[in-house]
Amino acid sequence: MNKTAIVIGATGLTGTHLVAALLQDPAFDKVKVLIRRPWAHSRPRLENVIVDFEDDENLAAALQGDVLFCCIGTTIKKAGSQERFKGVDYGIPVKCARIAHEQGVSQILVMSSIGANAHSRNFYLRTKGEMEEAIQRAGFHSIAIFRPSVLIGSRKEFRLGEWLGKYLIQLFYFLLQGRWKKYRPIKAATVANAMIAAAKEMETGISVYESDAIQQMGAS
């Protein structure tokens, strides 16, 4: 039976690849993207849904389907403050997860970050870890959390920290072996493919995939 996929963060680096791949996959007969403003993309099986993430009633009407994919994320610089950053990277995924579960969505796949830890001293990694824990408490039949390392791909905006990290890690790419292998840069398209693969497997319970495992899943 074909499914309806719901995507949050469809206009970002990984989300763009995810939507394109979902539209090519016969396992999904509809792809709903939840966006804040009109998106100039029109394809068969693609449904663009304008939402207000502050409006629970609006979200409840939009978050109806089978599988929720969440790739939303920003930076503290772009958000303007830590509080606003947390509103996007924690607030939106957690609220959408809660409402989607109430609407009968049984599976969620969410992109986090390598090193995510609710007890980290690093604000970014702590926020991601807190988001993961909240998602795990939402009650879904199937939860998949993806923790990629530095993402490779063409972004609309330039991120200095990510750019520096990518090239520094690439310099030592082949030295990153064993437990360090998960810190190798990874293509955003590979992450998207891994998320779809996990969605189709639909393992019961909570699954956490770090970057090295994502690489294997997304490349196969």
How does strand 142-147 pair with strand 205-210? parallel
User: Pick the catalytic residue: 86, 128, 182, 187?
Assistant: 128
For residue 147, the SS3 value is strand
Active-site residue flag, 128 = yes
Q: What is the C-alpha to C-alpha distance for residues 13 and 20, in angstroms, rounded to an integer?
A: 11
Cβ 188 vs Cβ 151: under 8 Å? yes
The CA-atom distances, in angstroms, between 100 and each of 32, 65, 86, 109, 139 are 13, 8, 20, 12, 10
Q: What is the C-alpha to C-alpha distance for residues 193 and 169, in angstroms, rounded to an integer?
A: 23
User: Pick the catalytic residue: 90, 124, 183, 209?
Assistant: 124
Q: What are the residue numbers of the active site?
A: 124, 128
